[in-house]
Amino acid sequence: MVEYLVREIPESYQYNAAHLKANKDDIEVLVLGSSQSMNAINAAIVDAPTLNLASGDQHHDTDFKIAKALLPRFPKLKTVVLEVSYNHFEQQHNGSDFWKNSVYLEYYGINNFDHNTYFKDRSLFLAQHTLFSNKLYNYYVKNERNTGFNGYGFDTLNFNGTFHKWDYNESIIAKRNFKINLNPSLDTWHTNSELFIEILDYFRSKNIQVIVVQVPMHKSFLAKRDPLILLRKNEIVTHIKTKYPEVIHVNHEEDTLRFIVRDFINPSHLNPKGAAKFTKILSGVINRQR
């Protein structure tokens, strides 16, 4: 019974799975990445048939596994959208024990485990019991159901973050602390950079167009970035532009003119209003390649 109730809560995965199943023969664009791309790209307003499988804490190693598993299912796939954020190259990969592996197995039929699966691997509750216990309590006891997922798994009502709480007051926002990586790791940078190059080589071999996106960040986030992490991220991006001229870059990470405070949930995530702006930009880029 608990497992049944848990499956009722991750609505975005349910809609993604239904969209994948119904449209796999027509999907032209696959979006991967973390919660930043999940919140920034509304597949419903991309002109090309699009599936957005970005999700919270999802790193490049998981993106790669998902892409390789789904490529044979998508005969019309032309484009893959990959995310490169400030933190991507100096944050540890998810690894084979990533708790969301159970989610991917349950909803998308993708085995990201390093073994043949058995019943426990499908248990979302056992994979992250604290998270899902809280979700069960909030959903069924507190009756918190203020979501508005469309048929593409995008939450159209996702406005109630810290910026909304602080009434989008720039003075208050500037004084607040938030989660940001300030610990450079050269070893991690090397490992992650090498994998990203491997990913680009893979898609080049499959003749798949890659679009690398850098999603808008609020100026409060931009101001607190570690200079060394930022420098090394920019170095790998420059290397990619040289070695892979066919890769398209859509970089609005520092676009503080077009993306204003009311476009954000918090310092590093767009709300649906900001997502509409960014998705239209991305859709225009995709259209020019069709």
Q: What is the pLDDT of residue 12?
A: 79
Does residue 6 surpass a pLDDT of 50?
no
Rounded distance between C-alpha atoms, residue 240 and residue 234, angstroms: 10
Domains of the chain in sequence order: 18-95+149-289 (3.40.50.1110)
**Entry pTM:** 0.89
pLDDT in tens, 71-107: 999 999 999 999 999 999 999 999 988 888 888 888 8
The highest-confidence range among 63-67, 122-126, 135-139, by mean pLDDT, is: 63-67
Model confidence at 119, pLDDT cuts 50, 70, 90, reads low
Q: What is the mean pLDDT of the chain?
A: 88
Average pLDDT, integer, range 185-197: 98
Average pLDDT, integer, range 31-58: 96
Q: Which of 189, 173, 169 is nearest to 60 (CA)?
A: 189
How many Cβ atoms are within 10 Å of 169's Cβ, its own excluded? Answer: 12
Q: What is the pLDDT of residue 99?
A: 84
Does residue 141 surpass a pLDDT of 50?
no
Contact 56, 38 (CB under 8 A): yes
- Count of residues for the chain? 290
Q: What is the pLDDT of residue 1?
A: 31
For 260, the token pair is 């204003």
Residues 6+ apart with CB under 8 A from 47: 283, 286, 287
Q: What is the pLDDT of residue 240?
A: 97
- The least confident of 128-137, 145-154, 155-164, 245-254 is 128-137
Alpha carbon 172 to its chain centroid, in Å, reads: 28
Does residue 209 surpass a pLDDT of 50?
yes
